[in-house]
Amino acid sequence: MLKTKEALIPYLLLVAALAGGLLWHESESVPGLGRTVTSGSVAVGGPYKLIDQDGHPRGSADFRGKYVLIYFGYSFCPDVCPATLGVIADALDKMGKDADRIMPVFITIDPARDTPSVLKHYMAAFGPRFVGLTGSEAQIAAVEKQYRVYAKKAPLPGGKYGMDHSSVIYLMGPDGKLVSFYDELVSPEELVKDLRAKI
């Protein structure tokens, strides 16, 4: 992930939206990096229909009744994306049977390169629980907007490109509404503790 000030905008918007009279997980002050935030009725998320790593149609309706951990990234990401997915995988492993109530979902921000077959190979590195989703440029852009995700192509030498993007883990409830969110510095242990308190 490439770092720019714009990539922090979605995280700051979420914090600002929650600051108006909602309950903070650890204190009444604005949370710092590595903390979690308990949400109220913030307008994040919405219905979507995409394609999973096996080429099958999958959408938000398929996950109703379960808690869903959603992370937006891309398979060519050299650092933050695999590290964050690794934290999610580690946390779910530590949760034992409680993890059965949670569906980890990875939504690509780079559908041009992240085809179902590419995602199938990429998701295998994080375990069989993960669902990887891709779609058309328009479909992905619509989901990014619903989740207030910042994502932008960043040209690299040789005609290649990376993706500058926000890095937020969203915890959505069985009803499809936002329960909480976590930044990229949350540890597996912190994630486990908070998930057990919320699910």
Multiple choice CATH, 5-198, 3.10.310.30, 3.40.30.10, 3.40.50.261, 1.10.10.10 = 3.40.30.10
Confidence of residue 14 (pLDDT cuts 50, 70, 90): low
pLDDT of residue 42: 64
Q: What is the dihedral of CA 32, 37, 40, 44, to 10 degrees?
A: 80
| pLDDT for the residue numbered 6 | 52
Single pTM value for the model: 0.81
pLDDT of 24 higher than 50: no
DSSP assignments along 61-86, one per residue: GGGTTSEEEEEEE-TT-SSHHHHHHH
Domain boundaries, the chain: 5-198
* Arithmetic mean of pLDDT, 114-120: 98
Token output for 30: 């604005």
DSSP 7: G
Higher pLDDT, 102 or 24: 102
Cα–Cα distance for residue pair 102/192, rounded to 1 Å: 11
pLDDT for position 43:
82
Of 49, 48, 47, 42, nearest to 11 (Cα)? Answer: 42
Look over the chain and give the mean of its residue pLDDT values, rounded to a whole number: 85
| Tens-digit pLDDT profile for residues 50-91 | 999 999 999 999 999 999 999 999 999 999 999 999 999 999
Q: Is the pLDDT reported for residue 29 higher than 70?
A: no
